[in-house]
Structure 1
Amino acid sequence: MKRTDFLKKGLIGMGSLVAVPTVLHACSKDKDPFNEKEELVECELSPSETTGPFTIKTPSQLMRENIVGDRSGVAMLITISVLDKSNNCNPLSGVLVDIWHCDAQGYYSEYGNTSLQEEDFTQSHFLRGRQTTDANGNASFISIFPGWYPGRAPHIHLEILTVNETSIRVSQIAFPKSVCDTVYTSTDYKGEADTLNTGDSVFSDGVDGNMTDSLTGNNTDGYTLLKTIVV
């Protein structure tokens, strides 16, 4: 599906979450990250991180572009670009990308009634999804900006898998504090996160490889997130 069609189809019917933010690339304003691969200074494997306690239970059933479900929050278009280190970091097409993250209040779908999360969302599947990378190695999702929960900095989980569902790499995406602070002033969120990236145990070995490549937009129009994952 063309990116323009993806945006038109995915954002229709989302109420106030309909404006598409302008894409600004962190490295060059002259290049379109959806049409060509940016040159990387170094081709390093993306950090390998834990899947966490709230992994997707039935990812094959969640093949979808729009993962918002019934959740509310600041709109976000997430594009994951997968590169193959063993092939000169060329785009890797035809692999599966799974992503999952908490809602604006810090709750995960598919879990609940436990010490980790008292609220019961065991019958819900919001903010979880799977896509297959296109010829340029890209997979996009329409979501909302994730909230936070005690002890973790704001983050998104992701896993790259072969078409046979063999895991290639599990990682997490971190966010700049300044953007989080801005988003968390919105009414759907619960204020400033209690844990910084530097105080998060998952990112204790360094957060540079986890940080978003580009994150642009505003609370009214939504945000565009671009992240390159090298596998």
Structure 2
Amino acid sequence: MDKRRFLKKGLLGLGTMAVMPAFISSCSKDEKENETEADPGTDSNSCLVSPVEMVGPFPIKTPAQLVQANIIGDRTGIPLLIKIIIQDQSNGCLPLSNVMVDIWQCDKDGNYSQYGGNQLQSANYTNQNFLRGRQTTNVNGEVSFLSIFPGWYPGRAPHLHVQVLTSAGSSLLVTQIAFPTSVYSAVYAANGYKGEPDRSNTQDSLFSDSLTQNMADTVTGNNIDGYTLSKVITVS
């Protein structure tokens, strides 16, 4: 699906803080004018295997039932287009096609679907499936998801969860993606978000030994038009 059709389909009726025409028209412009490098040491062309991270306490319970590119559900927030490329270290870091990519994240308030009503998360969303999805990589190793910029919850810096699986369902990698501080600070200053997280990227214990590799390769955009995140993930 081409980018315009993907965005048009995903943003109709979204009701977020950004409007569709501005988001679509700004994508190519923002990539050139407002590009934010993930980290001074990040090299998106490197062939290092991406960091292995914990699945976390809120993994997808039924990923096979959530094959969808638009993962927003009924959540609101600043639009985020997530573009991921999977590459294979064992094959010269060529793009890896026909593998499944699962993604999950919290909403702008720091809550996950499929869980809640307990000490770990007081808000009860056990019967909802927002901000979770699965896509299969194309011949270029690419998948895209239409989401919102995540919020944060105590003890963690802002992040996305990603799992890469073979077409047969065997896990190749579980990892997480971090956001540049300048980007999430701008987002969390917007209405509807709850301000700065209680853990920065460098204070986050999961990112402490692998932040450069966890960091998004680029995040472009702004609070009005929305953001586009790009990340190359390498499996062995």
TM over 0.5: yes
Pairs within 5 Å for 1:18-167: 18=20, 19-20=23-24, 21-23=26-28, 40=45, 42-167=46-171
Change in 2 beyond 3 A, CA 1:39/1:75: closer
Q: CA–CA distance in 2 between the matches of 1:14 and 1:193?
A: 26
| 12-21 or 202-211: bigger deviation | 12-21
Q: CA–CA distance in 2 between the matches of 1:122 and 1:192?
A: 27
Pairs within 5 Å for 1:188-203: 188-203=192-207
| 198-207 or 50-59: bigger deviation | 198-207
Amino acid at match of 1:47: P
Amino acid at match of 2:6: F
Q: CA–CA distance in 1 between the matches of 2:206 and 2:77?
A: 25
Q: CA–CA distance in 2 between the matches of 1:11 and 1:144?
A: 11
Q: Secondary structure at the match of 1:22?
A: helix
Amino acid at match of 2:170: T
| 1-10 or 141-150: bigger deviation | 1-10
Q: CA deviation at 1:140?
A: 0.3
Could you say what the CA RMSD is over the residues aligned between the two structures, in angstroms? Answer: 1.7
Specify the alignment match of 2:38 in structure 1.
none
Change in 2 beyond 3 A, CA 1:116/1:199: same
Write out per-residue CA displacement over residues 12-34 of structure 1, whole angstroms, 9 at most, x where no aligned residue.
222344223424669xx9xxxxx
Aligned residue pair count: 220
Q: CA–CA distance in 2 between the matches of 1:2 and 1:219?
A: 23
Amino acid at match of 2:74: D
Q: CA–CA distance in 1 between the matches of 2:210 and 2:94?
A: 25
Q: Secondary structure at the match of 1:5?
A: helix
CA contact (8 A) 2:81 2:145 kept: yes
Q: CA deviation at 1:113?
A: 1.3
Length-normalised TM-score, structure 1: 0.91
Write out per-residue CA displacement over residues 17-61 of structure 1, whole angstroms, 9 at most, x where no aligned residue.
4223424669xx9xxxxxxxx982x31100000010000000000
Write out per-residue CA displacement over residues 128-183 of structure 1, whole angstroms, 9 at most, x where no aligned residue.
00001111100000000000000000000000001111100000000111111100
Identify unmatched segments of 5+ residues in structure 2: 36-42
Q: Secondary structure at the match of 1:188?
A: coil
Change in 2 beyond 3 A, CA 1:39/1:147: closer
Identify unmatched segments of 5+ residues in structure 1: 30-37
Q: Which structure: greater helix fraction? A: 2
Q: CA deviation at 1:108?
A: 0.4
